[in-house]
Amino acid sequence: MSLQPQTSEEPVQGPTVFTDGSGITGKAIVTWKDGSEWKVLEGHEDGSAQLVELRAAVMAFQKFSQQPFNLIMDSAYVANTAQRLGHSVLKEVSNAALFHLLKTLWCAIQDRVHPYYVLHVRSYTNLPGFVVECNARADKLANPAWVAPQPDTLVQAKASHGFFH
C-alpha cells in the first residue's frame, strides 16, 4: 500500500485509455490503442449509469495496474472519484454494489506504484481531436443501439423516445 498517491496532475507516459458505461445496457467498456490496433475490454454491471461507469474505471485500473496510464472518461462523477480516492479513507455505504466498486477501485489505487492521470471530457461534443474521437468510440461501444445512424428523422425520433422512456 502506498502512502503517496500516484495520481498525476498532467498526462503520463503510457497508454491513453478511454472508458464508458451505459445504464441502459449495463455494458462497461475500456478501450485503448495498442500500436495500430484498438483493444477493448467489456464488462457488465447492473444499476445506474454511474455504477456502470465506475465498473469501467475499475476494469481500467485492474488492466493497467503494472504501468502508468492516462484515463479519459465522460463521467464527471467517476473522474472526480478516481482523482480523489487515493487521498481518501473509505467508509461503507448502504448501496452494496456501489461500496464493492468503490472498495475495489480504492484498493487498486492504493496498490499502485505507477502514476496515473484522469481527464474528464464532455460527452457528445463536436470538437475535433483524438480525445473527443476516442471518447465517442467508447460511447459507441458501450451503447451501439443508441449511436447507430438512423435513416430518417421519424425513425431517429422513435429510437430516441424508446431510449429515454
Domains in the chain: boundaries: 16-164
pLDDT tens by residue, 60-70: 999 999 999 99
The HSE-up count of residue 148 (CA atoms within 13 Å, CB side) is 8
Cell of 14: 503510457
Fold topology of 16-164? Nucleotidyltransferase; domain 5 (3.30.420)
Over residues 72-111, the pLDDT tens digits come to 988 899 999 999 988 888 888 899 999 999 999 999 999 9
What whole-number percentage of the chain has pLDDT above 70? 70
**Helices marked H in the chain — which ranges?**
49-63, 76-84, 96-110, 130-142, 144-147, 153-164
Strands 16-21 and 69-73, by their bridges, are: parallel
